[in-house]
Homo-oligomer: A and B are copies of this chain.
Amino acid sequence: MVSGTDYGKVTSDIVRQLSEIVGEKNVLTGDDRMNYNKDEAPRAKTYLPDVVVKPGDTASVCRILKLAEDNHIPVTPRGAGTGLSGGAVPILGGISLSSERMKRILEVDEANFSATTEPGVTLVELCAAVEAKGLYYPLYPGEKLATIGGNVSTNAGGMRAVKYGVTRNFVLGLEAVLASGEVVRTGGKYFKCSTAYDLTQLLIGSEGTLAFVTEITVRLITPPGVREILFIPFRSLSDAIGCVPAILKAGILPVGLEFMEKDVIDMYEKYSGKKIPMHDYAAYLMVIIESENEDAFINISERIEDVATKNGAVDIFVAGSEAARANLLEAREKFHAVVTQNGLLDIADVVVPRSKVAEYVQKAKQIGRENGISIIAHGHAGDGNVHLEIMGDAATIDQKKEKETLIKLFEAGVGMGGTISGEHGIGYTKKGYLPLASSPEKLQLMRRIKLAFDPHNIMNPGKVV
């Protein structure tokens, strides 16, 4: 964003006013602010907010934002801090506005298949509440401790996107507070709407740069009868990825279709001390299936086996037990922790058209080799979202080379008709790369939209656009 580096200071009088709004114990100005100085972006610098404020309701959020607006103080919205692009990091100081006290699940509406929550509710809490009523929130961005507010901010995707899509597809309505302190309500318990601009969708994925979301209504569905995982080894990555369109073209719609190579499996086994079945092959597809009942599952798995065998699969492993499923899912979910221990320097999550995944992974590895940088690629074969871990020694890495490599990875993805982030978001760590995916005209348009919401640029400044 262009405007305003001349932000106001968080004076003792501002702190006093914030304390009046939310109570003294919900305003942090000491060392405890350290818990708000970073997120999970690898190797990112820390930035201490001048003050952490924890509102408990929408009215407090309005007053806080009005105060910040009047005094031109930067406000950085924060959920659980599990983001990977620095979106929740207060890079200009000011106020870290935490949703941690806004944790009420306001309603699970069984007749309308919807749930309404405050933004600080975690994914695991939401899922438990709706399952208790016999309903299901099927999205699974992987990080259970992330907040729903954070999921909305980044349009979180995850491993069940092939069938269910992403957060955007399950949010029905929002309440959000603008920088001015004005409250805007969007959408409702309906998904058919042709009543002026869809502000719900515009707010989703805007990473707190347009407004602070105070209430979220999501769509629910009925739960599947059977969940199962197939683990399918192949002799090469291109065999594995080449099998994906064949599965989908056969009219089979798994919940998720993940790919991984042997290096990922090896690293996980070493990290966890656990063994992954059939761990000696070059590449794998993990097919996550949800079906109505056991018969339907058998039908689907037989058809997948048929298609996979015709397309180079060496074998098929059906998890078959909760423990085996958990082991396989963990290998996928814990991978971020695994690479973090093994010298993760940076992470990207380029998305390309599904048919380009194999070509893109090959290209990414070639880019790595040409630049002397080790790259691990794995991710969502069914939806084209490729996670790229840039590995190395932080002390000795040639940072210019590293940055050039990242640019080449993004350019290659965009060149194949993709874009630079499928689910992690832009935050500030990827902001410099956004022009690789957006024309100058489009960037200017987005900046004008930003100013329509937030004319003085106090909402998460320095992020996204």
A interface list, Cβ under 8 A from B: 109-114, 134, 154-157, 161, 165-166, 168-169, 178, 182-186, 188-199, 201-202, 204-206, 210, 221-222, 245, 248-251, 253, 292, 351-355, 380, 383-385, 417-426, 434, 437-439, 441-442, 445-446, 448-453, 464-465
Could you tell me the distance in whole angstroms from the C-beta of A428 to the nearest C-beta in chain B? Answer: 13
| Chain B, residue nearest A222 (CB) | B251
Q: In the complex, are the beta carbons of B154 and A190 less than 8 A apart?
A: no
Chain B residues with CB under 8 Å of A380's CB are 192
A157 to B195, CA, bound (A): 12
The answer to whether residues A355 and B111 also contact, given A190-B418, A197-B446, A425-B194 and a CB cut-off of 8 A, is yes
Option from B113, B193, B420 in Cβ contact (under 8 Å) with A351 = B193
Name A's interface SS.
Answer: loop
**List of B residues within 8 angstroms of A452 by Cβ:** 445, 448-449, 451-452
Does the CB pair B438–A157 fall under 8 Å? no
Other A-B contacts than A182-B441, A190-B351, A190-B422, 17 sampled, CB-CB below 8 A, are A109-B355, A111-B353, A134-B249, A156-B194, A168-B201, A182-B445, A183-B441, A184-B442, A185-B442, A190-B352, A196-B205, A196-B446, A196-B464, A197-B446, A198-B202, A198-B204, A221-B253
With A112-B354, A251-B222, A439-B184 as contacts: A195 and B446 at CB distance below 8 Å: no
Contacts of A201 in B (CB 8 A): 168, 198, 201-202
How distant is A17 from chain B, measured CB to nearest CB, in Å?
23
Q: Which residues does chain B contribute within 8 Å of A245, judged by CB atoms? A: 111
Give the distance to chain B from A134, nearest Cβ to Cβ, in Å. 8
Known contacts A192-B166, A193-B351, A249-B222; is-contact A199 B445 (Cβ 8 Å): yes
